[in-house]
Structure 1
């Protein structure tokens, strides 16, 4: 895994609401600048990205090919989407902590994907919390 230092990525920010349904009359808008590094990566020294592979997290809006931003400085909580290692394999799943049990659960309608109980599992470690994903609509 290659690590690269983050550089500011400043782009124009147009503060306007864009309808994804029926068209609405155009309103006034303002332009400014937004630094995507500050917005997407609040803890750069503790963050990394991973490419998502698979379809088990579509209910969380995470799709095959998305780029996940993972923050290692956050303490994972119940219902967070996390990247975890289980016996050396990296997984992106929802963390479920209930009644003293810890599971990594898929978030999709496909019953082929099942939760993994990692309570007291020696090969389980949380690598970080997924804080954002980037989906490319045109390549």
Structure 2
């Protein structure tokens, strides 16, 4: 995949095609977004609990299993059989949502809990893809 550097403005001026004078950059999205290809997976965000950090329902999450988890990271975890995306509070042993609508969830010894990886970035799709939805479900 080639990245085309075209600066897009909200207003429309002139009649020249926006693609008339573009340059291609030798960069793939894989190279840009994925540091450890063998340890990275993509998940689909579901719900609104992470909206205050810019993760919305339907966003793609790039998750790296090889990154060391630190306090305050956005993670994907298996919590009692459910995959969740939350902020990890290692000091209080809690999963924190990025929305005032959701309370912190304590992680106790009785819980099944496994961190699956650190969310490196999220990608928002402005037109949903049936193919993508089929692949991720």
**TM-score relative to the length of structure 1:** 0.75
Q: 2:30 aligns with which of 13, 33, 37?
A: 37
Q: CA deviation at 1:50?
A: 0.8
Output the TM-score relative to the length of structure 2: 0.76
CA deviation profile, 1:14-40 (whole Å, cap 9, x unmatched): 2x76667x9xxxxxx864222110111
Which segments of structure 1 move beyond 3 Å, counting only runs of 4 or more? Answer: 16-20, 119-122
Equivalent residue number for residue 50 of structure 2: 57
Instruction: Pick the structure with more strand per residue.
Output: 1
Name structure 2 gaps, 5 residues minimum. 12-21, 129-137
Aligned partner of 1:4 in structure 2 is none
Q: Considering fraction of residues, name the structure with more helix.
A: 2
Residue of structure 1 in register with 2:2 after alignment: 11
Report the number of matched residues.
Answer: 120
What is the Cα-based RMSD across aligned positions, in Å? 2.3
2:114 to 111, 120, 125: 125
String of CA shifts for 1:111-137, please: whole Å, max 9, x gaps.
Answer: xx1111114355111000000111111
Tell me how far apart the structure 1 counterparts of residues 35 and 63 of structure 2 sit (CA, whole Å): 11
**TM-aligned CA deviation for residue 102 of structure 1:** 1.2
| Residue 76 of structure 1: aligned partner | 69
> SS of the counterpart of 2:48?
coil
SS in 2 for 1:34: coil
Q: Does the 8 Å CA contact 2:46/2:57 hold for their aligned counterparts?
A: yes
* Residue of structure 1 in register with 2:39 after alignment: 46
Deviation at 1:82, TM superposition (A): 0.2
